[in-house]
Homo-oligomer: A and B are copies of this chain.
Amino acid sequence: MSSINLKRLSEELGLSISSVSKALRDSYEISAETKKRVMEMAEKLNYQPNPFASSLRRKKSLTVAVVIPEIANNYFVLAINGIQTVAQQKGYHVLTYLTHENAKDQESTIKHLQGGRVDGVLISLCSDTSTGEQLSELQNAGFPVVFFDRVPDAPGCPTVTTDDFDGGFKATEQLITSGCKKIAYLRVSGYLSTTVNRMNGYLAALQKYGIPQDPKMIVECSNDDDANQELIKKILKMRGRPDGILSSVEKLAVSMYYACTEINLKIPKDLKVISFSCLRTASLLSPSLSTITPPAFEIGKEAASLLFRMIEKKVYGNRVDKIVLNSSLIQRNSSR
């Protein structure tokens, strides 16, 4: 018996080779009825595709994936704009996935990407990422990966970040020179690179100005806005409360504004405030919010450019790029 190929199968069915091929791959372009007909005929004629060819061959998808932890954060809006600017120039398509600050979601997104339908991945880690295992799996899967903003602490990972230490230092120094003596640091839980570096900058500034570290001034917040607001209220009502606050992420600054409204503390008279933030409404708030603003759009552009250099194999050998950009301190009324 002569071997059955796609051509023979398509002749028997009166369909094009392309349609038969698509039906066998369960493509959405083919109706369920046609798929059934094709599969029945394939079985009847004992057509055997070569399943090894397709998995050994890896075609360009002209798609890159962006994996981000949360959407309630203007930073990622701007970073994605930067990424898309570069991707469009390269004729690539961007697919964005959310991990909702959840390690399990991140894990299944990564598994999913390993299926190989993208040419590269840009990823910013979720806050409860505990190990680097998944991430090295991702790198081992054979396509380029660039981490941005929230990055693993590993020498082999290409990263694009902001100088978070410097941001934390400058913000704290500004609060000190505005007269603050007891500065609280609002951090999110977990071991994010951003949180750790920002806090180290805060601690270094305290040290430089001879202000003793106080563990009560380091406030560990969660992803629950209401709980954070209650926690911040408690800190602001305690004896020896802070007179300055550095918030490591913008959503905590918003919770703090609400906490101050509730207990009738006036910013900046009773409490001076600076937050890491790309919040679009920062200068419209009452009072306007002083911010340390990372160059999110530029970070997205740099990260995408690096990824494309890797995709196009313009990065050779053992070279690992670690690109660091500076953030700006924008002083507004909340810290005057």
Contact A24 B51 (CB under 8 A): yes
CB interface residues, A 113-162, toward B, < 8 Å? 114-117, 137, 140-142
Chain A interface size range: 35 or more
A177 to chain B, nearest CB (A): 26
> Is A316 part of the contact surface with B, judged by Cβ < 8 Å?
no
Q: Which of chain A's residues 51-97 have a Cβ closer than 8 Å to chain B?
A: 51-52, 55-56, 63, 71-72, 74, 76-77, 80, 84, 93-97
Cβ contacts under 8 Å, A234 to chain B: none
Question: Which B residue sits closest to A38, measured CB to CB?
Answer: B52
Chain B residues near A108: list those with CB within 8 A: 63, 93, 95
State in angstroms the CA–CA spacing of A287 and B140 once bound together: 52
Q: List chain B residues, Cβ under 8 A from A115.
A: 26, 28
**Is A49's CB within 8 Å of the partner chain B?**
yes
Tell me which residues across on chain B come within 8 A of A266, comparing CB atoms: none
* Bound Cα distance A279, B251 (Å): 12
Q: Does A17 contact B (CB under 8 A)?
A: no
Q: How far is the CA of A26 from the CA of B57 in the complex (A)?
A: 11
Residues of B within 8 A of A31 (CB): 140
A98 on interface, CB distance cutoff 8 Å = yes
Bound CA–CA A32/B80 (angstroms): 32
CB-CB under 8 A from A97, the residues of chain B are 95-98
Interface contact B104-A93, CB-CB below 8 Å: yes
**Using Cβ atoms and an 8 Å threshold, which residues of chain B touch A94?**
100, 105
A281 sits at the interface (CB 8 A): yes
A105 to B48 CA separation, bound complex (whole angstroms): 35
Measured CB to CB, the closest approach of chain B to A100, in angstroms, equals 7
Which 4 interchain pairs have the tightest Cβ spacing? A28-B114, A286-B286, A71-B71, A96-B98
8 contacts between A and B (CB under 8 A): A26-B116, A28-B114, A71-B80, A94-B105, A96-B97, A97-B98, A251-B280, A286-B286
* B-binding residues in A (CB < 8 A): 24, 26-28, 31-32, 35, 39, 42-43, 48-49, 51-52, 55-56, 63, 71-72, 74, 76-77, 80, 84, 93-98, 100, 104-105, 108-109, 111-112, 114-117, 137, 140-142, 225, 251, 254, 257-258, 261, 279-281, 284-288
Apart from A43-B52, A95-B108, A254-B284: 16 A-B pairs, beta carbons within 8 A: A24-B55, A28-B111, A28-B137, A31-B140, A35-B55, A72-B74, A80-B100, A95-B97, A95-B109, A95-B112, A96-B100, A97-B97, A254-B281, A261-B284, A281-B281, A281-B285
